[in-house]
Structure 1
């Protein structure tokens, strides 16, 4: 189980890349402006907000594993 966790951590670190996470309406509105600086800022904000669901799921899995491990140790 520990190897699987480290494998997931390393795969997330190694496979990170730039993504475009804008809806069609946001993209159409922001592309009309000059420079595209605001469009990149909105895209970065969207990607930043996408991190939190993954963190919450990871924390829930971690704590459920701790509870499972504690119950397993108390039975022995």
Structure 2
């Protein structure tokens, strides 16, 4: 059950198109003609946003392993 839930969550996270720019950044970057800088800024924001989720997920996984081992 947990494996299925993990795969579902992973699929949702990976398949979603992420737009992580704030309104101010978007307004400044949309004034450019090609939009290359806007895409790069968006990718950087998404990259920085991933790390807290990975850390929290790792801590939750460690807690799960400790509790599972304790109740066996």
Q: Same fold (TM over 0.5)?
A: yes
Runs of 4 or more above 3 Å deviation: none
Larger Rg: 1
Output the aligned Cα RMSD. Answer: 1.7
Matched residue pairs, number? 71
**Gap runs ≥5 in structure 2:** none
Q: How far off is 1:14 after superposition?
A: 4.7
Q: Distance in 1 between matches of 2:30 and 2:20?
A: 14
Aligned to 2:2: 4
**Gap runs ≥5 in structure 1:** none
Q: How far off is 1:66 after superposition?
A: 1.2
TM (normalized to structure 2)?
0.81
Q: How far off is 1:5 after superposition?
A: 3.6
Please tell me whether residue 17 in structure 1 is matched to residue 16 in structure 2: yes
